Amino acid sequence: MRRAELVRHLASIPPFPSARAELEQVATPPEAAADLLSEALARQDLVGRTVLDLGAGTGILAIGAALLGAEHVTAVEADPAALAVARTAGKRLGLEVAWVVGDVGSVDEPVDTVLMNPPFGAQQRHADRPFWERALLLARRRVYAFALSGARTFIEGRAVARGARIEETVPVPWRFPRTFPHHRRRSVELAVDRWILSTGDER
Ligand code: SAH
């Protein structure tokens, strides 16, 4: 699939029905999602693989993985309203994804590839921690994630503790439109990194 087509599909997913600040519902921009998915595709972590999207929100990463040929995609999300949007969007595209309402801490099944845009921990300190714990525990091959650049030291520490190898930490453009009631400006540019960590045998 061409990048422009992938971006178009991802951009067609509706926004969070009622963005909840306490859950840090920050949707991944379609371009950033497409680039992350392309990296996973190039590293052979999608086609024929089992994929887990932690904190799936309205489903952009899970839907993208399914569009690009993942064998089985599971998407876990705490907010049923967000997941309902994801389910409808996936169905409209003719995709099969196991949409699961639940807490990331309750996921136990190992997978090949974990994709995630966890809460950034801006509202609730350390809200990203259970995501990184689960991701590094469950991914057999790699973890692909977004995080605020302020989380670098924490993530590097988790990677070392889990014996994962950091393959990439690159800043990505991330314009965050006004979403929550406490936002004043129309949009802000967030300092976000894309992370790729190898948890597999090549580590
Ligand atoms: N993956 C989506 C959403 C990212 S926002 C995207 O890339 O656009 C982070 C998501 O994590 C939100 O939808 C929020 O509701 C969810 N979330 C926060 N804490 C959670 C938890 N403990 N368990 C499951 N989902 C959680």
Task: Tell me how far the alpha carbon of residue 53 lies from the centroid of ligand 1, in angstroms.
Answer: 9
Task: Tell me how far the alpha carbon of residue 167 lies from the centroid of ligand 1, in angstroms.
Answer: 24
139 has pLDDT over 60: yes
Q: What is the pLDDT of residues 47-91, one digit of tens each?
A: 999 999 999 999 999 999 999 999 999 999 999 999 999 999 999
Q: Measured from the CB, is residue 86 less than 6 Å from ligand 1?
A: no
Task: Tell me how far the alpha carbon of residue 55 lies from the centroid of ligand 1, in angstroms.
Answer: 3
By C-alpha distance, which of 111, 151, 150, 152 is closest to 134? 111
3-state secondary structure of 71: coil
Q: What is the pLDDT of residues 141-151, one digit of tens each?
A: 999 999 999 99
Q: Measured from the CB, is residue 32 less than 6 Å from ligand 1?
A: no
The pLDDT of residue 87: 98
Confidence band for 203, pLDDT divided at 50, 70 and 90: very low
> What order of strands is seen across the sheet that includes strand 165-172?
98-101, 72-77, 50-54, 111-116, 139-148, 192-198, 165-172
Residue identifier of the C-alpha nearest atom 11 of ligand 1: 55
Q: Best substitution site from 79, 100, 128 to test ligand 1's pocket, by max atoms within 8 Å of Cβ?
A: 79
Mean pLDDT of 3-17: 96
92 has pLDDT over 90: yes
By C-alpha distance, which of 186, 182, 138 is closest to 164? 138
Please state, rounded to an integer, the average pLDDT across all residues of the chain: 93
Q: Measured from the CB, is residue 104 less than 6 Å from ligand 1?
A: yes
Higher pLDDT, 67 or 22: 67
Task: Tell me how far the alpha carbon of residue 1 lies from the centroid of ligand 1, in angstroms.
Answer: 27
Q: Measured from the CB, is residue 61 less than 6 Å from ligand 1?
A: yes
